[in-house]
Amino acid sequence: MTLIFVEKLTKRLTYTFDFVFNARGLRYEFTSDLTYFCNSNQQKFNYSTHTIPDVPTLVPCSLLFDQEIHQISLDKVTKDDIEFMSFNECPDLVASIFFVLSRYEEYWKVERDAHDRFPALCSIQSVFGWLHEPICDRWALNLLKFIGINSAPDSEFNIQPTVDIDSTFAYKGKGTFRTIAGILKDLSKGRINRVKDRIQVLFQKRKDPFDTFDHISRIAQLYPETRCFWLLADFGAFNKNLSYTNPQQGEIITKLASTCEIGIHPGYDTYTNGTNLALEIHRLTGLTKKEIKTSRQHFLRLSIPDTYNNLIEQNIQIDYTMGYAETTGFRMGTARQTPWFNLKTNEITSLQLQPFCYMDGTLNEYMNLSPIQAIEEVTTLKALVKQYGGTFSFIWHNETLGFKHHWKGWEPVFEESISYS
């Protein structure tokens, strides 16, 4: 047990020290009673402006004691070979953890990309060179070491494949108009092999290339933490899946739900539209006959706090959107499942966030890596999660798991991702 002296107790403090201590299997207690603190024989840490002899002390900035969201001048500082942040010229290792973990900067009015997403390049971790490591975990271990705790009992490491189903089938069930349009598009681009594939699938001479659900089921049997997220939004420019009433799709969902937990993949506009979110969850509930507890936003569109508030209203327990489309890394500074802290209300919420480290399209289409380069990237990310503890969660899609077209040769990348060795 570590006794921590603070001048005022706040939810922000509790959230941060829960991550530092409880998430690592350690115990702590706050006190604002200076006499009690000084007389205690427990291990001690002073996080206040008081001078207490012979006690490890860090003088805090105001961040963990504020009730509002402020624009803050941030700088990178180095002390004892540890890089962390200063806030309005006040260095604070503890506040650095809270700032990144709570996604404080995403509440500011910042630049957004074409899909209204917070860009990785705007992240303070990217600016200061910390995005590609679980920096909050590293800071937590630095803080524990400063206090005098040189080892933490919890270094649990898990592998979690997750699969987004944006389009259940490549060719089946698309209807006459979409089928003809697809053929004409492929012809215009000289993709004759795809035209042949489509015709063979439609005449039931070949399996649809996106129908990799038997493979996904086998993965789920080997990795019980596997999650699938199904897009059931109304058809639109960025929602291309079949209708939720399609019977073939319904059969696949029902079958897969017996081996893998299926969550909602809310449509393109649901990140700020709670009505559509509720409708799509209702559709998936009807198909699975189960309560929908998990979610990942389509296109990774996320607007904090609106998206998360909507998910809580629909009783979603865990969201898997926390990561970037354009690059790999640790958006939240950790790979550990962690509660969402609502800065607007200063509350630790019931919604858990499970960050992911990479997405298949990030490696292939954004970063333009070769399979060999992608394996190196995956190996590095996985080793960091194993070193600091947490869940190595990553995204593939049912269509990419077929390893066709520009995914040919990418099977070893997925195999490396699910390897514990």
Could you tell me if residue 192 is inside a domain? no
Please indicate, yes or no, whether residues 357 and 212 belong to a single structural domain of this protein: yes
Q: What is the pLDDT of residues 230-271, one digit of tens each?
A: 999 999 999 999 999 999 999 999 999 999 999 999 999 999
The confidence score (pLDDT) of residue 237 equals 95
Determine the average pLDDT of the residues in 176-180.
61
95 and 236 part of one domain: no
Q: Which domain holds residue 143?
A: 2-147
Average pLDDT value for residue range 276-290: 97
pLDDT (average), residues 88-106: 98
Clarify whether residues 143 and 221 are in a common domain. no
User: How do residues 135-151 score in pLDDT, each as one tens digit?
Assistant: 999 999 999 999 999 87
The reply to whether 221 and 127 lie within a common domain is: no
Q: How confident is the model at residue 203 (pLDDT cuts 50, 70, 90)?
A: low
Q: Distance between CA 235 and CA 237 in Å, rounded? A: 7
Taking the C-alpha atoms of residue 391 and residue 137, their distance in angstroms, rounded to an integer, is: 13
**Counted domains in the chain:** 2
Question: Phi/psi zone of residue 84: left (φ > 0), alpha (ψ -120 to 50 degrees), beta?
Answer: beta
- Check if the beta carbon of residue 222 is closer than 8 Å to that of residue 183: no
Give percent above pLDDT 70 in the chain. Answer: 93
The two tokens of residue 141 are 């271990």
Q: Do residues 261 and 389 share a domain?
A: yes
Residue 202 within a domain: no
**pTM here?**
0.95
pLDDT score for 181: 64
Would 285 be classed as within a structural domain? yes
Residue at 194 is within a domain:
no
The reply to whether 161 and 45 lie within a common domain is no
Predicted confidence (pLDDT) per residue in 146-170, tens digit: 999 987 776 789 999 999 999 999 8
* CATH number, domain with residue 223: 3.20.20.370
| Residue-wise pLDDT tens digits, 184-197 | 676 676 776 665 67
Instruction: Quote the CA–CA distance of 173 and 310 in Å, as a whole number.
Output: 31
Can you give the pLDDT at residue 176?
63
Alpha-carbon distance of 353 to 318, in angstroms, equals: 6
Asked whether residue 331 is domain-assigned, the answer is yes
CA distances in angstroms from 311 to 174, 230, 320, 353, listed in the order given? 30, 16, 12, 11
Same-domain status, 283 and 412: yes
239: number of Cβ within 10 Å: 21
Is residue 215 located within the same domain as residue 88?
Answer: no
Please tell me whether residues 51 and 164 are part of one structural domain: no
**pLDDT score of 170:** 86
Residue 203 lies in a domain: no
Distances in whole angstroms, Cα of residue 150 to Cα of each of 1, 43, 92, 279, 284: 14, 13, 20, 50, 47
Same-domain check for residues 225 and 274 = yes
pLDDT at site 387: 95
Flag whether 132 is in a domain: yes
Instruction: Indicate if 10 and 122 belong to the same structural domain.
Output: yes
Order of strands across the sheet that contains 82-87: 74-79, 82-87, 90-91
